Amino acid sequence: MSVNQSKSYRAEGGPEAVKVKLRLFAAGCCTHPEWVTLQGGSLRSSRIPAIFACIEHPRLGVILVDTGYSAEFRKETRRLPARLYRWITPVTFEEKDRAVHQLGACGMTAEQVQSIIITHFHADHIAGLKDFPSARFLYLPEAYDAVKRLQGLSALRRAFLPGLLPERFEQRSALIDRDRQVKLHADVPFPYALDVLGDGSLLAVDLPGHADGQIGLFLSTEQHDYFLCADAAWSSRAIRENRPPHAAAEVIMPSREQYRDSFGRLVELHRCRPELRIVPSHCPEVWANWTAEGGQL
């Protein structure tokens, strides 16, 4: 075992991590040919889960990271031009897949969800927001600024459906503060992280390119260290084998250059922290392992 394998992502000598509990869920899935999400991939269609995370914080209760699909997605894509979204990425979704129902099956009520961290504003990450009336929304201001005035086709080009946002969305938002910078370990390939909750439990880093203001999140449970990387890569395999997606997948991206940079950081992160569990939101392998191991990724 190399020395690196036991190293934390945290800066040496920094405060100890507040440990949280983590559960992953998939709220629906969509289908893509493999070549779109993986360079040199096959023509075969693969089913891609829309994973969201449920974090139990010892002091702050239940926090979600994204929500996956919901019935609202179907409603909002009934008419053109939004209907194009369904044609481009066919979605499989049943009512029982809704985040709020899956949490309910685990004994959690919608009102218990105090906060939802939005990694970026693509429809498959925010479709369930309306189901959580007590939640405040945490995200980077530039993520919302990039989409908030978009309607119709220009919104669709950014995979954003404005009707998915709950009423009083802005009033219920608590922006992630750029002034709350903390250091990461010197060889982790991000210049700094943002301390989302102010107690060191959830550390966000910039992963722009796929969407403006996209973030990834470092967190630690009693068992493992995790990095939720949102859509900065579509699969663990793409990171392991350094195979970014085909250019066709980059058409919805505001910046291919930034995407390649963010993707490169994930490849480097995996190289220098092979034991860190990186969770792309749409990775079939992560999802299969999570369910096969009974929730112990």
Q: Is the CB of 20 or the CB of 283 nearer to Zn ion?
A: 283
Question: What does the chain look like in DSSP terms, one character per residue?
Answer: --GGGG--SBPTTSPPPPP-EEEEEEEEEEEEEHHHHSTT--SSEEEEEEEEEEEEETTTEEEEE-----HHHHHHTSSTTTHHHHHHS-EE--GGGSHHHHHHHTT--GGGEEEEE-S---HHHHTTGGG-TT-EEE--HHHHHTTTT--HHHHHTTT--GGGSPTTTTTTB-PPPTT-EE-B-TTSSSS-EEESSSSSS-EEEE--SSSTT-EEEEEE-SS-EEEEEETS-S-HHHHHTT-PPPGGGGTT-S-HHHHHHHHHHHHHHHHH-TTSEEEETT-HHHHHHHHHTTS--
Structure tokens at 74: 């179907």
Report the site for Zn ion in 169-208 (rule: CB under 5 A). none
Q: Which residue is nearest to Zn ion (CB)?
A: 122
Binding segment toward Zn ion, per CB under 5 A, in 82-90, 102-110, 114-122, 282-290: 114-122
Structure tokens at 110: 């919608």
CB of 267 to Zn ion, least distance (A): 19
CB of 73 to Zn ion, least distance (A): 13
Number of residues near Zn ion (by CB under 5 A): 2
Q: Is the CB of 91 or the CB of 184 nearer to Zn ion?
A: 91
Q: Is the CB of 102 or the CB of 214 nearer to Zn ion?
A: 214
Binding segment toward Zn ion, per CB under 5 A, in 100-108, 168-176, 229-237, 284-292: 229-237
CB of 294 to Zn ion, least distance (A): 28
CB of 105 to Zn ion, least distance (A): 26
CB of 22 to Zn ion, least distance (A): 20
231 is a contact residue toward Zn ion (CB under 5 A) = yes
Binding segment toward Zn ion, per CB under 5 A, in 78-86, 118-126, 170-178, 185-193: 118-126
Q: Is the CB of 273 or the CB of 282 nearer to Zn ion?
A: 282
Q: Is the CB of 17 or the CB of 176 nearer to Zn ion?
A: 176
For residues 257, 34, 207, 197, the Cα torsion angle rounded to the nearest 10 degrees is 170
Q: Is the CB of 122 or the CB of 270 nearer to Zn ion?
A: 122
Binding segment toward Zn ion, per CB under 5 A, in 1-9, 70-78, 185-193, 226-234: 226-234
Number of CB atoms found within 10 A of residue 15's CB: 11
CB of 120 to Zn ion, least distance (A): 6
Report the site for Zn ion in 121-160 (rule: CB under 5 A). 122
- Residues of this chain that bind Zn ion (CB under 5 A): 122, 231
